[in-house]
Structure 1
Amino acid sequence: MISTSETSKNKAPKRRISDSLRTRRIRRLGSAVDRADTKENHRSADLAVVAASPQGPLPEPNIYPERPGCGQYAWLIGLVAVLSGLVLASMADLSGLSTDTISDFVDSYSNQYNVIIHERPGYCERHARLGAMVDHAWDQVLNQPDALEKLELALDNTTFNAIALIGSSGVGKSHTARLLREKFPWPENVKTVAWDDSNALALIPSILSHLKLCGRNLILVDNMTPKDIRYVPYINGLIRTHPEIANGTANKPSKKYVTIVYIISLNRLLPDDEFQAQKMAVQKLINTHLINYNDLERSHVEDCIRRTARVEGMELTRDQILDIIYSIDYINAGCKPVRAKVLMYGTPVKQKP
């Protein structure tokens, strides 16, 4: 049996150990408080220096970096789509997978890729009115109200659409085509053919084979003349019989939609009877919306001069405007020479202080 005194002797060392641990803990706590006070004092000093700086306080560092946008990974998504298409193509012979299935698979990935790239949900949907593009032409293509109204109606056709812009040089055809190219809702789907001769015809099948399912497609065929109109029915036939292009009026999500615009220039330098003959020949085009641009008159050219001067920031006197009208051949060239003449005769508008 253990006595009380022996018990006390055995417990004494434990109390001393506890006292020693308590002492060390108190010392560590005191050191931590001192360090915290020191850091706070340093921070207060730093803030005082920054506040006194002539540049003002500096922004707090961002310790939470922003997550990278989806656009940074778009190339990876596109690569996956291409590789997946190649894999499916190699498996087609082995598994009996149809070419249509592979094409639908790749088109689906392509649509998702475009949505991510353009950061716009529903980017590939075809609900946008193409006729709305003409709104941008009303204040730039002067004195052609009938042509612009008919063009707006023609562009609102929801499936295959063939349009011909017809008129002499300088009346606004090419300017209208440029606005269509710039304002088209799917700019990557715009293709332009500078027509020179029948060699340009070889480009059309290649363009048709690379149309996009996402949104709609626009093909602009520029620099055509009346002698080239014999190719228009042939090109329209290629489009109408193409198996991947929608040709009817019903909504076909699996088909591609295309609008083709021919820019046909009439030669106003010809004698009047020959000019009228070539104009009548173009009117015989079938399955094509014909948009006829009026020839410019003297009052129209004056409007063109005033608008060009306003756009270029130039001032013109009445005499200078008359000099420009008399110095250009507006009957044959329209408004094309106007800009150079305005820059030659005009003086820059003085900026208000």
Structure 2
Amino acid sequence: MQRGAWPKKPMTTSSTLHPGDAADAKNPKKCGILQSTRCRSYREQLRSTQRMNIIHGFLVLAAAATVLGVLFFHGMEPAFGSEMTQLPLEGVTLQSLWLGVVGLLGLSGKLESEQEDTMRAFYCEQQLDTKRIFRQIARQVLNQEHALARLERLVQSPRNFKAVALLGPPGVGKSLTAMGLRQQFPWQENVHTYSWSTYVPDGVKKFHMIRNFMDLLKDCGQNLIIIDNLSACDYGIVPIYNKVLQKREGDLNAAANQTVLVVYIFDLEMEFYWQQYELLHQLPVDVTIVNYQPFGRQELSDCLHQEMRLEQRTLDKRRVFQILDDAMMNVQCNGCKGLRESVLQYGQHNET
């Protein structure tokens, strides 16, 4: 040994190797070294993504099964009777179902605007089902088959502007027809009604009120305007209003783009029936005239039995004859009006 040199310490394996390189060192995964590193959060993220994929897969399967089930049920509808076949499972309903499926799949955010545009386009471009509408009206309006058939032909017309005048004595179904048309009209936001015999005495003010309907007309679908309770002396508003609707100031393209159906309802007095009838038949040629026939005892009997069926009440024969006799005394002024009140007053509830 040289002088001044410190004795060297014997070298061992434990002093030269990194503790992690020792063959008998503990597994870092077991001793928890990775607990505080990014590896753990990454593995947890992978597990969470895997669980979400599994849940998403189940939702896709459930949505597909729902759509297939509804389509299968829709295809089997005729087997369940005529009433079931009237369920509107196509069109809006199926598209609503598709929106629900898209929501389950988590795609509603991307497709929301496109689906809204599609639904709006379907709403605006749907066809007017006149057969269904007038089938429903005929269940309420009795003994006016010719009038309803003539009105249905007009409503089916492809013209952009259609005007009709319903003529007849009170209580024969004119306003009831308009109410049925209004209720069954697919574009409810486009329906506008006005009762002419209001407390507004000035006819000019009344005209300005119905003129305001023009600002509410839309390009979407068809527009329906109903002006009720007109008398024969009010016939002068018809050509004026028709002209204003067809030639609108400040909106040259509106008349070409919008489809408008105007229904004028005239109550005729039986005392001067034919004079008023001839006067109203001088209306412009662009107005279709639909005549509602006056009622007699048989028509009143039909109305009475319908009211009994609707109210689910019965009347004995003596009471039926009495009600019909009273109704015939005012048939020219009331028609079938007032029969429901008689049924409610004198009828007995049907035993179930």
TM-score (norm 2): 0.66
Structure 2 residues not aligned, in runs of 5+: 1-7, 34-102
Aligned partner of residue 142 in structure 1, secondary structure: coil
Instruction: Kindly indicate whether residue 267 of structure 2 is the aligned counterpart of residue 265 of structure 1.
Output: yes
Residue in 2 that maps onto 1:166: 167
> What's the counterpart of residue 275 of structure 1?
273
Mapped partners of 1:23, 1:132: distance in 2: 78
Letter of the 2:305 partner, please give it: R
What letter matches 1:258 in structure 2? V
CA displacement 1:268-318 (0-9 Å, x = unmatched) = 3x3xxx222112211221221001001111111111111111111112222
Q: Does 1:232 align with 2:238?
A: yes
Q: Are residues 291 and 213 of structure 1, via their aligned partners in 2, closer, same or farther at CA, if it must alter by over 3 Å? A: same
**Alignment deviations for residues 159-200 of structure 1 (CA, whole Å, 9 cap, x no partner):** 100001111110000101111111111000011122135121
Q: 1:156 to 1:210 in 2, by over 3 A?
A: same
- CA distance in structure 1 between the aligned counterparts of 2:14 and 2:245, rounded to whole angstroms: 109
The residue number in structure 1 matching 2:334 is: 333
Instruction: In structure 1, give the amino acid aligned to 2:244.
Output: L
The 5-angstrom pairing of residues 312-331 of structure 1 reads 312-328=311-327, 329-331=330-332
Q: 1:127 offset after TM fit, Å?
A: 3.6
Larger mean CA deviation between 190-199 and 150-159 belongs to 190-199
Is residue 2:201 matched to residue 1:195?
no
Unaligned runs of 5+ in 1: 29-64, 78-111, 247-251
State the one-letter code of the partner of 2:297.
R
> Are residues 207 and 23 of structure 1, via their aligned partners in 2, closer, same or farther at CA, if it must alter by over 3 Å?
closer
Contact 2:19 2:25 in 1 (8 A): no
Aligned partners of 2:313 and 2:349 also within 8 Å: yes
2:247 to 231, 237, 241: 241
Please give the alpha-carbon distance, in whole angstroms, between the structure 2 residues aligned to 1:121 and 1:312. 40
Question: What's 1:284 paired with?
Answer: 282
Aligned equivalent of 1:215: 221
Same amino acid, percent of matched pairs: 30
Task: Measure, in 2, the Cα distance between the counterparts of 1:210 and 1:334.
Answer: 35
Question: What is the rounded CA distance, in whole Å, between the counterparts of 1:205 and 1:301 in structure 2?
Answer: 37
Look up the match of 1:142: 142
Alpha-carbon offset, residue 216 of structure 1: 1.0
**In structure 1, how many angstroms separate the alpha carbons of the residues matched to 2:116 and 2:190?**
17
Kept in 2, the 8 Å contact 1:133–1:183? The answer is: yes
Alpha carbons 1:266, 1:275 under 8 Å: kept:
yes
Separation of aligned partners in 1, 2:30 and 2:147: 93
Contact 1:168 1:332 in 2 (8 A): yes
Structure 1's 9 and 127: CA in aligned 2 closer, same or farther, altered over 3 A? closer
The AA in structure 2 aligned to 1:221 is I
Q: CA distance change for structure 1 residues 137 and 117 in 2, over 3 Å: closer, same or farther?
A: farther
- State the partner residue of 1:311: 310
Q: Secondary structure at the match of 1:284?
A: coil
CA contact (8 A) 2:226 2:264 kept: yes
Tell me: CA distance 1:69–1:172, structure 2 relative to 1, closer, same or farther (3 Å): farther
- 1:32-78, Cα deviation, whole Å (9 max, x unpaired): xxxxxxxxxxxxxxxxxxxxxxxxxxxxxxxxx966978xx8xxx9x
Letter in 1 for 2:13: S
- Structure 1 346/9 Cα, relative in aligned 2: closer, same or farther at 3 Å? closer
Kept in 2, the 8 Å contact 1:131–1:154? The answer is: no
Residue aligning to 1:10:
15
Change (3 A) 1:321 1:69: farther
Give the structure 2 partner of residue 153 of structure 1: 153
Whether the 8 Å contact between 1:224 and 1:264 is mirrored in structure 2 is yes
Question: Does the Cα contact within 8 Å between 1:166 and 1:291 map onto a contact in 2?
Answer: yes
Note if 1:348 corresponds to 2:349.
yes
Alpha-carbon distance between aligned partners in 1 of 2:116 and 2:314, rounded to the nearest angstrom? 47
- Cα distance in 2 for residues equivalent to 1:24 and 1:126: 67
**Alpha carbons of structure 1 residues 8 and 241: separation in structure 2 relative to 1, 3 Å:** closer
CA distance in 2, matches of 1:260, 1:13: 97
Q: Are the structure 2 counterparts of residues 313 and 185 from structure 1 closer, same or farther at C-alpha, using a change threshold of 3 Å? A: same
Q: Which amino acid aligns with 2:265?
A: I
Question: 1:119-162: per-residue Cα shift (whole Å, max 9, x none)?
Answer: 46421126435565222111110000000000000111221000
